Structure 1
Amino acid sequence: MDPSKSISAFQINVFKMPPDLNRSLLSPPQNWGISGRLNPSYKCGPPVLVSPSQYPDPSGLLSDSAAMASWQVVCNITKPKGVGPRYCVSFSAYYNESIIPCPTCACGFPANTNRMFSTKSPALLLPSQVLLVPFENRTTLSTAWADLHHFPVPNPLPCGDNCGTTGGWSARITIFNWDEIPFVDWFTAIELDKAAPGFEAVYSFNGSTLNGVNNTIFMQGLPGLNYLVAETDGANPQKDPRVPGKQQSVISFTKKLTTGVNISGGDGFPTKVFFNGEECSLPKVLPKSNSHIFGSSLLTYVILALAVFLAMQK
């Protein structure tokens, strides 16, 4: 995606030890491997002797010098046999109330299959709030949703997706400008009393935690993009409503430093929000889960997508 970040270079000093002191006999390091994060399984072949590499002469002359010897090691991403996916995807759309969940056993069969659940029954459609609930606590809510909308309920009920979990959660911030004046070089600060220590990155803005303040994330637009346009006419001004200017980004958090955060209880929402130095008004009610059976351990199971709306009005 970024050619400037597609190459990594390092240097290894390899020494000879007695009795191997023959300077003309060179043996490259063996047993190469790569440890990846997104693709952790790699298989590397042995070093293969290739034509000596050329590099600029250290004296500064225009001519190139050749290395004494060069080897090539080829490593490929591998997937162990019998290993299925580690993650799955659910679908949602504004024109449908139901969430299409991950398929049954999407990431393999459970270690101890419960006879009450089937590995072949199709996954039940879900209301949006149930995505915040661990699979083992979804039965009542999902079957009630099916009864409300007259969806078929298989018997036995389907097993879960058994997919891996992430080490945190993500949030989405959307900034709306309902005014007729654009904001140039805008900035915003968000206080998250319990979740801020887990802040990792913001992807479409510049963002960081404030020095000496462990509960506040400071964000502004990227260079050249720090301009929040004013409200404009719709495509058809006679019929369509006015359209606000907006910018949005995703913020990722890790649970390593926030193991006690209860996202479903509202800990993932800001306690204060400032835009261009002015404190914003926040809702007095937070969107919380309707279930009473899950608490702080929920963070282990889910990715939460939330929206923080900052309405800029006259």
Structure 2
Amino acid sequence: MRFVVSALFLFVLFSHTDAYDPLDPNGNVTIKWDIVSWTPDGYVAVVTMNNFQMYRHIMSPGWTLGWTWAKKEVIWSMNGAQTTEQGDCSKFKGNVPHCCKKTPTVVDLLPGVPYNQQFTNCCKGGVVPAWGQDPQGAVSAFQVSVGSAGTSNKTVKLPKNFTLLGPGPGYTCGPAKVVPSTTFLTPDRRRKTQALMTWNVTCTYSQFLARKNPNCCVSFSSFYNETITPCPTCSCGCQNKNNCVKDSSKILKMKGLNTPRKDNAPLLQCTHHMCPVRVHWHVKLNYKDYWRVKVSITNFNYRMNYTVWSLVVQHPNLNSVTQVFSFDYKPLLPYESISEYPEFFFSVFSRCIIRYHVTMLFGHAYADDTGMFYGMKFYNDLLMEAGPFGNVQSEVLLRKDKDTFTFKQGWAFPRKVYFNGDECMLPPPDTYPFLPNSAHQQYLFSIFTLIATMVFLLLTLC
């Protein structure tokens, strides 16, 4: 019976998406096209990109959206975005379209463009925060006027072969699907209007498609052991070890060192792990009812700063976080938030199957033990490139669960760590800072001494 249930679980799991993330099972980027008016040879549409991922941002240099027209459509004009190439528009005389390519590529505009080129939720340089961190900011939109496209619901053909880069590979987009038309409120919010036609495209992320190696690693230390467990050697592949930058290098004084390249190639500080980002988890203090952890994030890439960042940690005691001192913190409860967006997420039946297997495998609903840390706005939400400012840190105070809390066998260290949505490489468990045997022996010695003293006093008094 268990085998049948397991098989059903796997079928349900992978039939929804090839890029299933157990900590964010419903995460996706949904692109919605709303036709708001017809034109003599086509339509005007509002294209809205919603980042429904809990903790994965679309980072600088931002998203790039592409598709293939079903017919011979052209783009007459755009507000809030632009195509990277115009294509061959030689057959047009006088009024020349914005883009004539069969496969247009669209990018967001940068902040500060003239007002007449802007559109609602545009002009962020393509940066879209995660929904779990900034629900209001997790959207990007633009307006497009399409020609040679048909002027009715029956003659318009849906674009095909959607691609999303954000800012690198990793996203896979499904086909466009016609959905019930979106309802809008007029600017005075007194009247509802409806899109003439709406279709959705859903894109999911896979770390395996994005890169061959991890993008971050984790190191550990503790107050009860002088040993520091570093990131494993070549955690991120060491593919850049021949052109990394040493601390004493003269390159560090060159102008333009921090300028990103078009291919996003990193310029890494030389380390044994060769990762762009390292997360350090230090078990700092032990109190009677609480314990304290210091978390540090270091950027080793001289060409990249993170305008927004997130750190997701899975640990059995995160359900007892008492205070976080200089980061924002939010528990991740993805199973509870599914009902808020039912049109994008699993059915109730599949959720029950997932919850059953999570409980059966781990003994508890592990999502309750997962939390997201992120920077405070205008304080430490910008993680600078490698150098003296390429570090952010905070401390976390946790209440002890008397039934499960222990410092033994590496329990105090996280099970999984994600930085900006990518899972980080953890050290092997047998290298974690261990609790010295002497601590246990000293405890027994103290008890023995106390008993001996009491016996001596009793014998003396008697």
TM over 0.5, shorter chain: no
Structure (1 or 2) with the greater helix fraction: 2
For this structure pair, what is the TM-score category when the shorter chain's length is used for normalisation? Answer: 0.3 to 0.5
